[in-house]
A and B are shown apart, each in its own frame.
Chain A
């Protein structure tokens, strides 16, 4: 499987370290995250590759918003990092029995616990490190004994998984004033 390194400055790098400017060529390549990769790097990647903005209805707004957001220090208290992980879930009830595979971006706290990040506006999460987590295998809703496996994720899954989550982050930072 081809590999693409996502650099902290938003560049897509081939295995020889040169920049890939055509995102379509590496959409199916396995993602490796360079040191210092953060959510800001993800949005820089969208800015540099307008083609990737077309993968989600809210990606264009995210890319456009970056210029107006603080240049550094966007880390909310209590959240250590963001982790994108793949989940394979076998569901038996309610019927019909089915297998679902999806990616989800989670906030992770200091002691490893999941943190709900939906209430945080995107601009407050920008400098959190982003890492790729292990695959979670959930069998019939048993969250206590779920299995964890090493896995890989391609650029499409990476962009789509994070883009999907960020589409939920729209809460205003403060209440509006009435006239």
Chain B
């Protein structure tokens, strides 16, 4: 069974014909060729496939593409605006919040969503927000610092 879907991806309308069983992450990576969104555990544990679905961070390996019909999807490629990195991307660079970088796209999406609703998250709130995103390199310390740093930047601007 095929479905015609229309999804706003990083602000641009995208249309496609998809099979019922196509997962959102495969739609993003294979149909749209936006490979910034990674596939990790593929069982909704690790969070590397996190994208924003109508502004909410979700694990795109556990959503059907057809469920995103009529919705907006934001991926890591959409964080940069007009050639300028998102404050959370700048902060991850400045605070060394990544080592291998595999979890980073998902982390960035979760953290950007957190900062949208909370411009002054406590360490506890940050750790809680990223508890569905696994990072096996950093021990999270610099990620937490980066989010705090990004929050400062966003409050200042």
Do A and B assemble together?
no
